[in-house]
Amino acid sequence: MNGIWRNSISCLRIRKVPRRYQTGYHPAVPLGSRILTDPAKVFEHNMWDHMQWSKEEAAAARKKVEENSAVRVLLEEQVKYESEANKYWDTFYKIHKNKFFKDRNWLLREFPEILPVNQKTEEKAKELSWDHVKTNAANCFSRKHCPTLPEEKNSKKSSGLSHGQNKAESDFSHLDSEEHRKGPLETELFPGSKASFRILEVGCGAGNSVFPILNILQNTPESFLYCCDFASGAVELVKSHPSYRAAQCCAFVHDVCDEGGPYPFPDGVLDVVLLVFVLSSIHPDRMQGVVNRLSKLLKPGGMLLFRDYGRYDKTQLRFKKGHCLSENFYVRGDGTRAYFFTKGEVHSMFCQAGLDEKQNLVDHRLQVNRKKQVKMHRVWVQGKFQKPSHLTQKSSKLIFSLLSHS
């Protein structure tokens, strides 16, 4: 029995995921390298990486949250914020258009999984993201998005599930090749049906992730980008942008909370789902259903990339009494909402949806207003979650079956 167990584990290890999915460390340079070693120099830069909170700072944050959560929004008003959520975001984009958020050029370095790998895209992504590391590092932070700062990881690029596969990923591809040849990809046409690498960005807003990605995809015609938002005004901003290309991008209005809402493509065809500063705007009771649905859209081996607000981020601490909807869930003055996650909550939610955790970390930073001599803690949670291959699923079931009968 022990021999069977060891052989089964060996088989699973042979088919381990590419190295870039297994990143949990902080890169040395150029990202995540500004470490505060001398407190007297705190106001020399606008941002410090990998900050550790003192016991006093942590206690003060907990106290502040207790205070601003003491008075809850009336139930009838909470119902309105839920039922009219799309109207509040639609109004937001009508007012601010595409001027409020900065383009997230850091995505290309932080999440290399959003692109298929070939020499052209590698070089272009490196060039673009490095330029923006130098120019955008100190830009403003938004209430819903974290648009400008490059993030912690500097993982090596390997391939997604594309024509440019590396050896590790080719182990995944043959598992379902026959199924995909017989599936809807050949018999039914849909936007992007001829693409070999497909990405979906959920909650695209005015396109601050869409266009940095499209700028790279112009060198990879085999790739296709879907993007959706439930604010029709946001989708119109994307479609009217001069860089929008219908031949390689499909922007559509969609409410991810609507279980019956159709997508313009079948289940199981996506290589990547990008979920960045979106889930926090959804009611906590509906989050698990959203993640479950997104998981079904992924191919075996596909990746769901997540980044959002962490518990005790400065945004949470700034809320006043009377804005708390439920525990760690708040409404802003414009009617939009925000939830603040822990690493454990993120792990539970995505693993319950049948995804394997490849990265799950809390990103602590110290933002500094040098003019006003003010220090503010930023806290984000970032994760990478992979849909298991059919072989992995079958092997796991076999192992558990053998163990249960041993």
pTM (2 decimals)? Answer: 0.72
Structurally, how many domains does the chain consist of?
Answer: 1
Cα distances (Å, whole numbers) of residue 249 to 211, 222, 239? 10, 12, 9
Nearest to 89 by CA among 206, 201, 263: 206
Q: Specify the pLDDT at position 311.
A: 97
**Parent domain of 13:** 2-404
Which parts of the chain have pLDDT scores under 50?
Answer: 1-31, 119-121, 123, 129-187
Specify the pLDDT at position 67. 96
Question: Over the chain, what HEC string results?
Answer: CHHHHHHHHHHHHHCCCCHHHHCCCCCCCCCCCCCCCCHHHHHHCCEEECCCCCHHHHHHHHHHHHHHCCCECCHHHHHHHHHCHHHHHHHHHHHHCCCCCCCCCCHHHHCHHHCCCCHHHHHHHHHHHHHHHHHHCCCCCCCCCCCCCCCCCCCCCCCCCCCCCCHHHHHHHHHHHHHHHHCHHHHCCCCCCCCCEEEEEECCCCCCCHHHHHHHHCCCCCEEEEEEECCHHHHHHHHCCCCCCCCCEEEEECCCCCCCCCCCCCCCCEEEEEEECCHHHCCHHHHHHHHHHHHHHEEEEEEEEEEEEECCCHHHHCCCCCCEEECCEEECCCCCEEECECHHHHHHHHHHCCCEEEEEEEEEEEEEECCCCEEEEEEEEEEEEECCCHHHHHHHHHHHHHHHCC
Whole-number pLDDT of residue 402: 59
Residue 88's CATH number: 3.40.50.150
